[in-house]
Amino acid sequence: MKRLLAICLFGFAALAHADEVKVAVAANFTAPMQKIAAEFEKASGHKAVVATGSTGAFYAQIKNGAPFEVFLAADDETPAKLESEGFAAKGSRFTYAVGKLVLWSSKPGFVDADGNVLKKGAFERLALANPKTAPYGAAAIEALKKLGLHEGVQAKLVQGETITQAYQFVASGNADLGFVALSLIWKDGAIASGSAWVLPADLYSPIRQDAVLLSKGAAQPAAQALMQFLKGEAARAIIKSYGYAL
């Protein structure tokens, strides 16, 4: 009975300390974060309240007082900036994933294994995320320039505010093909649909995605617990399953 009572008291204590953590998450990481949030709640009792969007937009919102406590960006520069400007806890930043850029079409056979479809130009619209606010969009522009194709495709580019919106342009058929995050089309260890070319890593700067504990979460137990959970094996297994490097 004493043991049972102790277990019950421990359970009530855990519930009493359960809290919410408000998390800003880069759009490319939406699906893995949903799974991570569910596992985090099971393991800790804390609930992660997730908002998704572009890294650049979140940067502006955080500087303007948005109530986020943890930020999972699509780059490493933005969290570093927030840290240096006093909006994030110093020393809390770490790389939780390394993203991969893919040229994708929802049409099977449309994108060849070497991405020669870009050189041939037999398409009307090429989607990408806004390079000013979305790191995957900036990576796409960098790759096009290295391939010597940027000027030639300018008139065909259509921009989404986030990488998810760029993906939706292609998935809906409003763009013939587009640059997306591998995580958006990766399932069970393979491309889930359509046709794709995974761009060689030397065509763009590494997309190191950093997490940082924001100032509003520095003294918040749920925020601290989430940062720790992201470094653990359960979260890392989920991240890897979506095609990210660790």
Whole-structure pTM value: 0.86
| Position 79 in a domain | yes
d(CA 79, CA 222): 19
Tokens matching residue 164: 């998810």
- HSE-CB of 88 using CA atoms within 13 angstroms: 27
Instruction: List residues bridging with 49 in a β-sheet.
Output: 22
| Position 124 in a domain | yes
Domain count, the chain: 2
Q: Are 83 and 51 in the same domain?
A: yes
DSSP three-state, residue 111: coil
Q: Are 148 and 74 in the same domain?
A: no
Q: How far apart, in Å, are the Cα atoms of 216 and each of 19, 79, 129, 211?
A: 14, 14, 29, 14
Q: Are 94 and 132 in the same domain?
A: no
Q: Are 47 and 120 in the same domain?
A: no
d(CA 181, CA 238): 16
| Position 246 in a domain | no
Handedness of CA 78, 177, 98, 36 (dihedral sign): positive
Per-residue tens of pLDDT for the chain, all 246 residues: 445 444 443 444 444 457 999 999 999 999 999 999 999 999 999 999 999 999 999 999 999 999 999 999 999 999 999 999 999 999 999 999 999 999 999 999 999 999 999 999 999 999 999 999 999 999 999 999 999 999 999 999 999 999 999 999 999 999 999 999 999 999 888 899 999 999 999 999 999 999 999 999 999 999 999 999 999 999 999 999 999 999
Q: Are 126 and 174 in the same domain?
A: yes
Per-residue confidence (pLDDT) for residue 16, from 0 to 100: 43
Q: Are 89 and 108 in the same domain?
A: no
Q: Where residue 86 sits, what CATH number does that domain have?
A: 3.40.190.10
Tokens 């925020």 belong to residue? 223
State which H helix or E strand residue 48 sits in: strand 47-53
Phi and psi at 140, nearest 5°, equal -65, -45
179: Cβ contacts below 8 Å, ≥ 6 apart:
101, 102, 103, 104, 126, 127, 128, 129, 136, 137, 139, 140, 143, 166
Per-residue confidence (pLDDT) for residue 189, from 0 to 100: 85
| Position 203 in a domain | no
Q: Are 62 and 123 in the same domain?
A: no
Q: Are 140 and 157 in the same domain?
A: yes
Domain that holds residue 110: 101-198
Q: Are 186 and 223 in the same domain?
A: no
Per-residue confidence (pLDDT) for residue 13, from 0 to 100: 42
